[in-house]
Structure 1
Amino acid sequence: MKEPFANSPDPDLFYHSVQHHYCLQKLELALRLRRGLSVVIGAVGTGKSTMCRALLQLLNDDSGAISVHLILDPAFASPLEFLATIATTFGIEKEDSSEWQMKEAIKNYLLHQGIDKNIIPVLIIDEGQKLPVFCIEILREFLNYETNHNKLLEIVIFAQEEFSESLKDRPNFSDRITSLHKLGPLSFKETCNLVRYRIQQCRNDGDTGPELFPWSSLLLIFLLTKGYPRKIIMLCSKILLAMLVKEKTRATLSLVWNSAGETSIPQISNLSKKLYGGGILILLVGGVLLFNSNGSLITSVKERFEPKKSTQQVVRDPRSPSTGRIVHKQSPDTGHKSNLNSVTASQPPPDELGYLIVLKGMSLSRMVTRVYGRFTEHNLRMVLKANPYLSNPAKLKVQTKIFFPRLPNSSTSKLTPILVRLGEFNTLQAAYDFLISNLKTGEAMRILPMWNGESRLFFLVVLEKKFQEEKQAQQAIARLDSSFRSAATVIKNLDGIPL
């Protein structure tokens, strides 16, 4: 069991509050759509650095399409030092170069990555409030590097609130921001969820264990920290340490109170002393516990303050048959198939490939990439058009069905005849589940929807790489993970119509 309240920005312990989850989803969409500049602003301790690491982890899972580069402390002394750091981060070797030579080298690198390799370079800057004026001007110049369709460099800046003043003073930079987010403290319910989430993440699998923080102690923690994540984590760390020393199994009010007095955060320490000296704590806790906003007595204190357990409900497809859209019915999956049906052209393919059910942690951009092989604005628009009930694509509800249309411009001309097939499935959901379950193997895979020309829609999961010779494909199979090496086969000719 690792420490649940370590003060390092561990992305595995990142709690997705409503505002943090919304911000992370919008950042990912902005980056994949190549919008240019995104800025996240928040007070000290609102979770910016942890979100920065969570974004890094999210993007690194798709390292084939995105290259991520991080600058932690941008307090540079000169423009040349800033440019040299960026060049080194990008892997550009330019010793003893002038500013102009550095900029040209970086521009050529971005052109090569964005156009020749179709890779999205992302530069993430933490502690952005430390950026000198000349650094902001250089970043503004980088945002001018673009094609007719998108930016060549994506920039994400995480900064404290004083960075807002820098933006006001530089309208030629701030008007380039396509995605601006402001983070604030957590609510009481979110404070409870954060504490419990971190503890549960650090427990052994299946171990529920005793409840270390009762609701009354969580309320006091919230009052003392005002909902700021860093203060919550630091205080809870002190509390856990005190519990170990005193051999306690629960964080009592007195233990929370004493730990707050010993904390190194001045606001918490001063507040605890003031509350204790004036007896205000009793009024705060007692008043909130006994009365609701209307002044009536609460019959169950725990019912008011205990965070309600989330209940996941399946969101039914709100589209009625009267819309006239053809919906392809998914039949129960029968697993891997050994033979492909022969092609006939008697029936047109369906307008819809099927649907995926949203699970926790899934994003629309990732689903689009894995279903269609790449993420483009056109593909995203087609999916949004097929799902008009999605009010916020950046924040998908768990158990929502996302329908994926057949793209009208599908073509077989871009496909080479030799592929490595890892599995064949009757439904899009089954193919997607297979792909997701094998991501840890490190193999680059994609889904290839197929139509047999009559009445059968099926889905191949193939290696993303295409081969010119059968020998190359066989060598690729030999290098596969043993978990699905035996099921992999070489396909010389597709006995179906790729959609």
Structure 2
Amino acid sequence: MYTDFYNLKEKPFNLTPSPRFLYLGESHKKALNLLTYGVIERKGLILLTGEIGTGKTTMVHALLNNIDKTTRYIHLSNPLLSQKEFIDYLAFSAFKKKVHFKSKADFLFEFEEFLRQCMQDQKNFVLIVDEAHNLSFKLLEEIRLLSNMEFADEKLINIFLVGQPELNKKLGDPRCKSLLQRISSRYHIPPLDFKGTSDYIATRLKIAGAKNGNDIFFKSAIKAIHHYSEGYPRVINILADNSLLLGYSKGRKKITDTMVKQCYEDMSLEDSFLESSQKIPEPSEIKKMKPVHTGRYWKWAAALIFIIVIAAVGMSQIRRGILGRLSEFISVGHQVPLDRVPGEQEQLPSDVQTEDRKIEPGDLMQPEGPKEMHGIFQRKDKEFFKSVIAKPGDTVIQLAANVYGRADEKILNLIQKYNPEIKDIDWIDVGQEIIFPPLSLLDQSPTFTVHIASFEPFKYARDLFQELLKEGYEVYIIPVYDTKKGKFFRVTLGNFKNRKEAENFAATILKKGISDYAEAIWLEMR
């Protein structure tokens, strides 16, 4: 559905394992090498474990696609069998016909002869049991007996047990002590780290026909996918596939972290409406309510709700229209790359408490590095600093926008200088005190910007600000106080050295019909 829209030849994130889309990170290379080594060297019993969706079955399929004709194998993907069904399955798979043996001893005799013939023909034989954590203790004992088959100090059969970590617990049971001692090698596949997730997505997009995966997913979107998937390839596929579908439905050529979060929330199962502690009333306990005549009120209520919804939709469409047209126009020269890791809270906090107080130089943590850098912390400025206590979901970018009314690269660098304990601008600790110095320390001369929209509710200005900021544009929110109109918020773009440059940019916006309004204004520095 979305392949043509993103210029792809096929869907890159199907859940069905495909050797064409094989991605081998460091952990998966180790897993595949272990299985391959087990076949070549006849290592006998090998254990491969991993959480759901880490790529265990994919590694099995990769092995089976790489082995040559000298190796015969049986792949049991559903081990929920009885002992008799297990023996029948092995017999049919090995002898390629239905054979019913009178006893298990007859089967073992014929099967061992078959394995010896394979060895004489210079062929390996491998039994791969997928989902092995579902094996019963009786079947595990049958597998132990099969692993005993040897000839001239060589294993006649290689057995690979592949399953979830629960398999380790089952093998730790005293009933599996003998089987556990026969395991020659084992490996646990961990989830992908962020680099692995990024490479995994890029690899699958490239195989599907994308020229550059970065043209489809923002870096912040990949961070969000890694965050929500926790590095499990199967969940990565689900989130990435649904994000592409959502982007297609919205007409967005590039996936953002907000879209990834929406897909994650849409797929998450919510708790039951009734909590377990709630008591469901008996019919006799339900009070009879007196009928209320609402005929003349509901019409007015419906009309009021309709007006509110229309206004909200209208404001949202204005914001989306501006954003969509700007994404096709704004030049790279007016962009500031600001990636943000998705947190628990995507919106700017409305209840951030700031404290105006004069902070003495001794109150500030001294930075590491050359002594000449210490001077910026020893300056006695007449203006007040602000301090904010970080709450869950806060980021430095969000807090800066709330304190200063805008956020850009220079402001973030200034904040980091006065908060040297912040090593990564995208991550702060809950309860951490963040110092916000006065912007006069930037020593900036007055600049100009282009006013493109105004909103009375802060929410709409904030939403447009966050969208443009995530797209990498230099955007500002400027609060305005008017005696007649009251308080409203301007959204502006760009930072120009003089009014002429700003006016030229505004004229281009109007000429191309990107926005119905664009005016060059002076950007006052606080």
TM-score range, shorter chain: 0.5 to 0.7
Change (3 A) 1:209 1:151: closer
Change (3 A) 1:154 1:209: closer
Q: Does 1:125 align with 2:129?
A: yes
Could you list the per-position Cα deviations for residues 75-121 of structure 1 after superposition, in whole angstroms to 9, with x for gaps in the alignment?
Answer: 11x2111011011111354225322222222111111111x211001
Q: 2:116 aligns with which of 90, 111, 114?
A: 111
User: In structure 2, the residue corresponding to 1:86 is in which secondary structure?
Assistant: helix
Q: Which residue of 2 aligns with 1:239?
A: 243
Quick one: distance in 1 between partners of 2:184 and 2:270? 37
The within-5 A match list for 1:32-111 is 32-59=40-67, 62-63=68-69, 65-76=70-81, 78-93=82-97, 94-95=99-100, 97-111=102-116
Q: Does 1:153 align with 2:157?
A: yes
Q: Which residue of 1 aligns with 2:181?
A: 175
User: In structure 1, the residue corresponding to 2:156 is in which secondary structure?
Assistant: coil
Q: Which residue of 2 aligns with 1:163?
A: 167
Q: Which residue of 1 aligns with 2:20?
A: 12
Q: Which residue of 1 aligns with 2:39?
A: 31
Quick one: distance in 2 between partners of 1:222 and 1:37? 34
User: In structure 1, the residue corresponding to 2:39 is in which secondary structure?
Assistant: helix
User: How many residues align structurally?
Assistant: 289
AA partner of residue 166 (structure 1): K
Q: Which residue of 2 aligns with 1:189?
A: 195
Quick one: distance in 1 between partners of 2:172 and 2:181? 10
User: In structure 1, the residue corresponding to 2:48 is in which secondary structure?
Assistant: strand
TM-fit CA distance, 1:226: 1.3
Q: Which residue of 1 aligns with 2:204?
A: 198
TM-fit CA distance, 1:9: 1.7
Quick one: distance in 1 between partners of 2:193 and 2:396? 16
Q: Does 1:227 align with 2:231?
A: yes
AA partner of residue 200 (structure 1): K
TM-fit CA distance, 1:51: 1.2
Q: Which residue of 2 aligns with 1:438?
A: none
AA partner of residue 199 (structure 1): L
User: In structure 1, the residue corresponding to 2:11 is in which secondary structure?
Assistant: coil
User: In structure 2, the residue corresponding to 1:118 is in which secondary structure?
Assistant: coil
The within-5 A match list for 1:326-405 is none
Change (3 A) 1:182 1:285: farther
Change (3 A) 1:211 1:111: same
Change (3 A) 1:142 1:212: same
Quick one: distance in 1 between partners of 2:397 and 2:264? 16
Quick one: distance in 1 between partners of 2:194 and 2:243? 18
Quick one: distance in 2 between partners of 1:285 and 1:106? 68
Change (3 A) 1:244 1:203: same
User: In structure 2, the residue corresponding to 1:129 is in which secondary structure?
Assistant: helix
User: In structure 2, the residue corresponding to 1:224 is in which secondary structure?
Assistant: helix
Residues 48 and 161 in structure 2, CA contact (< 8 A), matched pair in contact too: yes
Change (3 A) 1:92 1:108: farther
Change (3 A) 1:40 1:138: same
Q: Does 1:248 align with 2:374?
A: no
Q: Does 1:295 align with 2:421?
A: yes
Residues 83 and 103 in structure 1, CA contact (< 8 A), matched pair in contact too: no
Q: Which residue of 2 aligns with 1:142?
A: 146
Change (3 A) 1:88 1:17: same
Quick one: distance in 1 between partners of 2:127 and 2:23? 24
Quick one: distance in 2 between partners of 1:215 and 1:7? 23
Quick one: distance in 2 between partners of 1:294 and 1:147? 67
Residues 216 and 253 in structure 1, CA contact (< 8 A), matched pair in contact too: yes
TM-fit CA distance, 1:212: 0.9
Quick one: distance in 2 between partners of 1:266 and 1:111? 56
RMSD between superposed Cα atoms in Å: 3.1
Change (3 A) 1:234 1:53: same
AA partner of residue 3 (structure 1): K
Change (3 A) 1:225 1:203: same
- In structure 2, runs of 5+ residues without a counterpart are 1-8, 272-341, 350-390, 400-411, 428-526
TM-fit CA distance, 1:155: 0.9
TM-score (norm 1): 0.53
Residues 202 and 213 in structure 2, CA contact (< 8 A), matched pair in contact too: no
Residues 231 and 265 in structure 1, CA contact (< 8 A), matched pair in contact too: no
Residue identity over aligned pairs, in percent, reads 25
Quick one: distance in 2 between partners of 1:142 and 1:153? 8
Residues 92 and 105 in structure 1, CA contact (< 8 A), matched pair in contact too: no
Residues 218 and 257 in structure 2, CA contact (< 8 A), matched pair in contact too: no
Q: Which residue of 2 aligns with 1:260?
A: 264
